[in-house]
Amino acid sequence: MRRLKDQLREAGGSLTGLKGNARVCVMVEPLWIIPYNLFITYTSVYMVALGCTDKQIGLIASISLVFQMFFSLIGGYVTDKLGRKRTSLIFDVISWSIPTFIWAIAQNFYYFLVASIINSLVRIVHTSWSCLIVEDTPPEDRVHVFTWIQIAGIMAGFIAPFSGLLVKRFELVPTVRGLYFFAFISMTTMFLLRNHFVNETQQGLKRMKETKNESFFGSIKDYKSASKKLISTPFTMVTFLLSIFTNINNIIRMNFFAIVLTQKLEFSQQSLSFFPVVQSLIALLVYLFVMPTLGKRHFKLPLMSAFIAMVFSNFLLVISPKQSLFMIILSTALTAYGTAVSFPFVESMLANSIDDNERAKTMSILYVVLYGITAPFGYIGGVLSSISEELPFALMSLVFIISLFLVEVLNRLDKTEIRLERDSTAEFE
């Protein structure tokens, strides 16, 4: 046990070393991530069982992303106006507590559509929550925060088989309804606990004071200023493009992985809960034994290895024969490695490249672009899946091949920045 603690500390930094809001957010995260892991594996097949088609599932995903784009636009304004803490509480309750209740009582396509639109308000929270955990955390510690968030998700993945046992015992629809009710209770509890223990950030207090009498339209000039600064920062833009690609992969995998397994590869519904355990186990091993080494290296090699893994992970789903447990385990393991390595690097690189003074507005702009670009991919995935269940994953293999070229672009931009800084320093001296 001591060895495990030492490895966790080396992989993600000491949890006790995290301070303030970052530590609170990491500590309460299991109350959200555990119920999420229990129901997410069965979401798409639950929708199918209640009469939704592949195209309708994709359409819901795309409509949700359109609304997320809008809510991302106003997320910075709301976060600055209400504060990071208050915004996170209000919109987490609206965007998760209400939808999980609706999903629990869903009867058809329209229930899922309404719940998905309300859930889209989570994008306001994404801005406020990101500010809440980052702003009072030193830049060198931020990668540890994102790592511990990932570790919390990994640990929660080990309880996924419990949902499979429940499906086997009580059948799919009654089980998933119960899991959504549990999520409603657990997530709401988490939001209340987090709100009680976190403090408003110093930057949040400053922005609340500055925007006290500011209207949304009056704040547009700040969005314009932040947009110009973003466009003039190629490193941030390319890093953000990598974030977009990983989000597209998440959309495809979340909505169509269970469908390709049950409909094309003929795995049972109960077996679906086995694969999150494999993914969690591999990801945990990566954090314990790989990230301590990779985390000290320049980003090029870790990201290259992560995206190569994602290329082959998706390709294996395309070529896998029916009920080939080995192929799906290998695909899941490669996804686990790719996600575990790429997420902390991309998120911390993006966070550190954004000015704290403009973080809320900048994050809003980035998320508007992200959801604007990714919105069609839910429907595109649904159309491709209706033609052949493996086509969405063929698309993702291509996307991650492009990501490999983008990592090389980032590497060159980074070298250019270092050279310019060195020349500037030499000239000053």
Task: Express each pLDDT in 21-77 by its tens digit.
Answer: 888 888 898 899 999 989 988 898 999 999 999 889 989 988 988 898 888 778 888
**What average pLDDT does range 278-285 have in this prediction?**
87
**What average pLDDT does range 417-424 have in this prediction?**
51
Q: Which of 210, 216, 233 is nearest to 366 (CA)?
A: 233
Is pLDDT of 427 > 50? no
**What average pLDDT does range 143-162 have in this prediction?**
77
Phi, psi of 298 (to 5 degrees): -60, 150
Specify the higher pLDDT residue, 169 or 218.
169
Map out the domains of the chain with their CATH numbers.
17-211+226-423 (1.20.1250.20)
Do residues 252 and 395 lie in contact, with contact meaning Cβ atoms separated by under 8 Å?
A: yes
* 231/6 Cα distance (integer angstroms): 42
* 259/261 Cα distance (integer angstroms): 5
Is pLDDT of 316 > 90? yes
Specify the higher pLDDT residue, 16 or 265.
265
3-state SS, one letter per residue, for the chain: CHHHHHHHHHHHCCHHHCCHHHHHHHHHCHHHHHHHHHHHCCHHHHHHHCCCCHHHHHHHHHHHHHHHHHHHHHHHHHHHHHCHHHHHHHHHHHHHHHHHHHHHCCCCHHHHHHHHHHHCCHHHHHHHHHHHHHCCCCHHHHHHHHHHHHHHHHHHHCCHHHHHHHHHHHCHHHHHHHHHHHHHHHHHHHHHHHHHHCCCCHHHHHHHHHCCCCCCHHHHHHHHHHHHHHHCCHHHHHHHHHHHHHHHHHHHHHHHHHHHHHHHCCCCCHHHHHHHHHHHHHHHHHHHHCHHHHCCCCCHHHHHHHHHHHHHHHHHHHHCCCCCHHHHHHHHHHHHHHHHHHHHHHHHHHHHCCCHHHHHHHHHHHHHHHHHHHHHHHHHHHHHHHHCCCHHHHHHHHHHHHHHHHHHHHHHHHHHHHHHHHHHHHHHC
User: Tens digits of per-residue pLDDT, 366-385?
Assistant: 777 877 788 788 888 888 98
| Per-residue CA distances from 294 to 158, 165, 288, 391, 399 (Å) | 24, 37, 11, 32, 23
Do residues 382 and 375 lie in contact, with contact meaning Cβ atoms separated by under 8 Å?
A: no
* 303/310 Cα distance (integer angstroms): 11
* 56/61 Cα distance (integer angstroms): 9
Rg of the chain over all Cα atoms, to the nearest angstrom: 21
Q: Give the pLDDT confidence score for residue 306 in this predicted structure.
A: 94
Owner of token pair 């893994």: 309
Specify the higher pLDDT residue, 225 or 5.
225
Is pLDDT of 205 > 80? yes
Q: Give the pLDDT confidence score for residue 328 in this predicted structure.
A: 92
* 274/278 Cα distance (integer angstroms): 7
Instruction: Grade residue 424 by pLDDT with cuts at 50, 70 and 90.
Output: very low
Instruction: Grade residue 6 by pLDDT with cuts at 50, 70 and 90.
Output: low
* 197/217 Cα distance (integer angstroms): 33
Q: Give the pLDDT confidence score for residue 51 in this predicted structure.
A: 93
* 280/344 Cα distance (integer angstroms): 16
Instruction: Grade residue 203 by pLDDT with cuts at 50, 70 and 90.
Output: confident
**What average pLDDT does range 224-235 have in this prediction?**
74
Instruction: Grade residue 15 by pLDDT with cuts at 50, 70 and 90.
Output: low
Q: Give the pLDDT confidence score for residue 289 in this predicted structure.
A: 83
Owner of token pair 């991919």: 377
Specify the higher pLDDT residue, 9 or 42.
42
Distance of CA 185 to the CA centre of its chain: 22
Mean pLDDT estimate for the chain: 84
- Lowest average pLDDT, out of 15-19, 91-95, 370-374, 403-407, goes to 15-19
Q: Which of 132, 125, 147, 123 is nearest to 22 (CA)?
A: 132
Half-sphere exposure of 86 (CA within 13 A, CB side): 9
Owner of token pair 């009920």: 323
Share of the chain above pLDDT 90, in %: 33
Q: Give the pLDDT confidence score for residue 173 in this predicted structure.
A: 94
* 259/272 Cα distance (integer angstroms): 10
Instruction: Grade residue 140 by pLDDT with cuts at 50, 70 and 90.
Output: low
Is pLDDT of 101 > 90? yes
Q: Which two tokens stand for residue 377?
A: 């991919």
**What average pLDDT does range 178-192 have in this prediction?**
97
Q: Give the pLDDT confidence score for residue 425 in this predicted structure.
A: 47
